Chain A
Amino acid sequence: MMRRTGLLRSKELVIFLVLVAICGIVTIVNPVFIHPSNIMDIFLMNTVLAIMAFGMLVVILTGGIDVSVGAMVATVTMVVGNFMAHVTGNLFAVFLVGIGTGAILGFLNGLLIAKLRIHAIVVTLGTMSIIYGAMFYITGGEWVTQERIPQNFQQFGRTVFGHIPTVNGGATGLPIQFLFVLLAVAVTWALLRFTMFGRSVFAIGGSRISAERAGFRIDRTVILVYLFEGILVGTAGVVHTSIVRQVDPNAFNGFELQVIAAVVLGGASILGGSGSVLGTVLGVALIAVLNNGLILMRVSSYWQQIIIGLVIILAVSMDIIQKRRTEQRQTRVDVETAEGIQ
């Protein structure tokens, strides 16, 4: 991990502490929270959020944003579901189709944003509408029910590792889908840290002009960024289908907010240029824990959304206030006093 003046960046530390605090509170109210089977549950329920969050992280790092991810993943699940129902449940094929769908949608987003030079929020507002609209129109919004999902795929979805007894006498384990999360984490981290593509992402987000002058291929990077996000979305879509083993096109209404929230809560700056994989992991964990915790504490599900909304606003406010304070304290002049340079 990159040394930043020797310490773990304080932002991630703060988020981590908040996370621990929330876990603590929830555990006190309902100890089931830390039961291993519940933890597995949390993993399972949030794999999709996690995988997509890394894609969104890369997008936000360049200073962009994508509100069409909900539409994208819904489309992927529909395509994949119908593909399996009509063609085959062959795992390889299914993943190919799913990732391919995501990649194409992401690529189109990237193309529009890069070539038309329009701000990402507005473009993706448009594409969200187009994608959802087209998907619902073509499929009629029809569910793909469980019996139409091939058995081998369902088996795949149920695979778990290890043996963890559940509260009500059954058994579970580490879901196989979690491996995909690990894969997403590893790939994103490696990409951002060790490839020029990843460094261009940071460069463009930090200063677009400097990036242009330095010779970074901005358009190409932007397109690749959205393509990468699309690939992760595609993966997430297939993974999701393997978890719920059916397809409901409305399952992701408003989901884009959670994905963006996870990244922002993880300390990434909406203006681009700063953020980390670790931070996003913590952001996802925060949302996951919040959601699960609220359920276990028997808080009405309606409160979940309210609390998420408040948490977003609070977190971004604190971020801005801190940024402002750092900026104010920035050394612009090497002031010389009797004691030396300040």
Chain B
Amino acid sequence: MDSASEYVLRMENISKTFPGVKALEGIHIEVRKGEVHALVGENGAGKSTLIKILSGVYQPDDGAHIFFGNEEVRDLTPVEAVRQGIAVIYQDFSLFPNLTVAENIAVSQNIEKKRLFVSWKQMRDQAARTLARLGVDIELDQELGRLSVARQQLVAIARALTYEAQLIVMDEPTSALSRSEVELLFTIMRSLRDSGISILFISHKLDELFAIIDRLTVIRDGRYMGTYPRDDMDNQKLISLMVGRPVEYTVYPKRTCNDPVLEVRNLSKRGNFFDVSFTLHRGEILGVTGLVGAGRTEMVQAIFGMNAPDAGTLFIDGKEVIITSSEDAVRSGIGYVPENRLQEGLVLQQSMGNNLVLVTLDALTNRFGALVAERKNKVVDDGIQMMAIRPADPEMTVSKLSGGNQQRVVLAKWLAKSPKILIVDEPTNGIDVGAKAEIHKILRDLSEAGMGIILVSSELPEILAIADRILVMRRGRIAGEFDGATATQEQLMSKAILGSISEHQE
């Protein structure tokens, strides 16, 4: 790498098209040597895609230029990226659950040095040193798969540090960390920066950014919005850049609902959540927010029968129900739109029509178990129409649909069953802003028609726009409850990060 260049990385005119979706268009980003640079944008704005291009997993569309230092690199591969001095920590950490902490940390060194033999002493020493740098205490011989998500992330970060790379890229590194762990991470970032290493990290947690960054680049809907030094920036400016207008979503009038449809009492599961109690009313949208790793998905999946709790009871319409499987949940009138749309929500290789009927299949058969075409077609057509799915082609393979339309398929699939309670987990993740607003309207319309909706979301503006009541989870517990009409982002965020053990605040 040419030491004369002041930039460790320059990416120019980066575009990326997937079938049916243009994820990125004309992105520019440059990271100086010895700088902490944030890549900011809402969920689905294209940040992860950009990182994948940077690390060689995706190839950009023609016309893109990537420079490391002064040297242009073409046809970047993951191995080449590492060689060029880029260490990427993905959100899934890319670790090995069956190997020990020490080996996970030291593995990259082993590969980079093209070693034929390994020395366990060397690996443990290196791991110990790196963890000490992080100021973290994790047992070196513990099998990684047994650690909590937050701790696994620390191991991932430790591993990246062993590269002594010129540029460390982190994808949402602080999502599952406690305040003190975040402080620690920032301290390390600062010392790395001061020693000449650059850090590029993706975050949508605006409140943390200003404490650590030197500059930031904003992406909105896959487009480049600008690069700004920290001093030129504040929260308000940032939000407006990210969404284009100070007020983002249509804020719907909030309602007070009194007819309980679901009551959750003292739901607990070791290592997942503890003593969760709340009530969901008919016609209400109950928002559940908190940091990633707070236990929201674990908790709602327990209600849906996919994550059996150790203790607690559920009441639907006043009657106790025992739910031990998703089948039980569906029969009790609960539906679940998963966070992981592609793996849990849809069968990608199958057609739209087949996906749409997956929940209601058994109701569409005749006495011999055969699918009655008219009934199936009705469900399919109704679903396409109700959710305005485009293109309106039941034979189309769902993998070809845009994110927004894919989500509509999932919603339509559940609506065909007319659930009393619908749990939606990060429903607008990876969807463009216009489509998000439409989904908000759909959810409001559904609640107005009497459906009880539990909305799990990390997007505070979204929650504030449509939720009637809001629960904040922190570290597996309900940290607080807010009125959807009066809550503010600051209140929610501070509760999510700081929280307290008491039930209510304000």
Contacts and interface: CB of A to CB of B under 8 A. Distances in A.
Do A and B belong to a common assembly? yes
Interface stretch (B126-134, B140-148, B164-172, B254-262): B140-148
A241 B195 CA distance: 65
Contacts of B110: 196, 199
Interface string A313-342: 000000000000010111111111110011
A279 to B, nearest CB: 14
B271 A338 contact: no
Contacts of A331: 146-148, 270-271
A326 B98 CA distance: 13
B111 A214 contact: yes
A334 B179 CA distance: 13
Contact of A203 (B57, B93, B96): B96
B117 interface: yes
A328 B308 contact: yes
A215 B79 contact: yes
A338 B501 contact: yes
Contacts of A196: 110-111, 115-118
B99 interface: yes
Given A5-B139, A5-B142, A333 B298 contact: yes
B273 A330 contact: no
A333 B476 contact: yes
Contacts of A3: 141
A206 B94 contact: no
Contacts of A210: 93-96
B148 A199 contact: no
Interface string A195-220: 11101001101110111111110000
A336 B79 contact: no
Given A3-B141, A4-B141, A5-B142, A333 B294 contact: yes
A335 B117 contact: no
B96 A334 contact: no
A334 B148 CA distance: 7
A335 B149 contact: no
Contact of A335 (B98, B103, B475): B475
A94 B80 CA distance: 45
A302 interface: no
A92 interface: no
Contacts of B271: 329-333, 335, 342
Interface in B363-397: none
A89 interface: no
Given A338-B501, A342-B271, A330 B146 contact: yes
> What range describes how many residues of B lie at the interface?
35 or more
Interface in A300-319: none
Given A195-B118, A333-B294, A342-B274, A207 B475 contact: no
A159 interface: no
Contacts of B298: 332-333
A206 B97 contact: yes
B495 interface: no
Contact of A333 (B107, B116, B295): B295
Contacts of A202: 96, 98-99
A144 B178 CA distance: 72
B108 interface: yes
Nearest to B111: A215
B178 to A, nearest CB: 8
A213 B475 contact: no
Interface string B489-503: 000000000000100
Nearest to B159: A214
A341 B148 CA distance: 11
B323 interface: no
A119 B245 CA distance: 52
Given A274-B98, A331-B146, A335-B476, 7 more contacts: A210-B94, A214-B111, A273-B98, A328-B308, A333-B148, A336-B477, A337-B275
7 nearest A-B pairs in the assembled complex, by CB-CB distance: A335-B476, A331-B271, A206-B98, A336-B475, A273-B98, A333-B295, A206-B96
18 contacts: A2-B120, A5-B141, A195-B117, A196-B117, A199-B110, A206-B96, A206-B99, A212-B78, A214-B94, A215-B111, A273-B98, A330-B146, A331-B270, A332-B149, A333-B148, A334-B178, A335-B476, A336-B475
